[in-house]
Chain A
Amino acid sequence: DAGITQSPRHKVTETGTPVTLRCHQTENHRYMYWYRQDPGHGLRLIHYSYGVKDTDKGEVSDGYSVSRSKTEDFLLTLESATSSQTSVYFCASSAGQQETQYFGPGTRLLVL
Chain B
Amino acid sequence: AQSVTQPDIHITVSEGASLELRCNYSYGATPYLFWYVQSPGQGLQLLLKYFSGDTLVQGIKGFEAEFKRSQSSFNLRKPSVHWSDAAEYFCAVAMNRDDKIIFGKGTRLHILP
Contacts and interface: CB of A to CB of B under 8 A. Distances in A.
Given A98-B32, A101-B44, 19 more contacts: A42-B103, A42-B104, A42-B106, A43-B44, A43-B90, A45-B102, A58-B100, A90-B43, A90-B44, A92-B43, A97-B98, A97-B99, A98-B51, A98-B94, A98-B97, A100-B34, A101-B101, A105-B42, A106-B42
A98 B104 contact: no
A105 B42 CA distance: 5
A84 B102 CA distance: 22
6 contacts: A42-B90, A98-B94, A98-B101, A100-B49, A101-B44, A106-B41
Contacts of A106: 41-43
Contact of A103 (B45, B94, B101, B105): B45
Interface of B: 32, 34, 36, 41-46, 49, 51, 90, 94, 97-106
B104 A48 contact: no
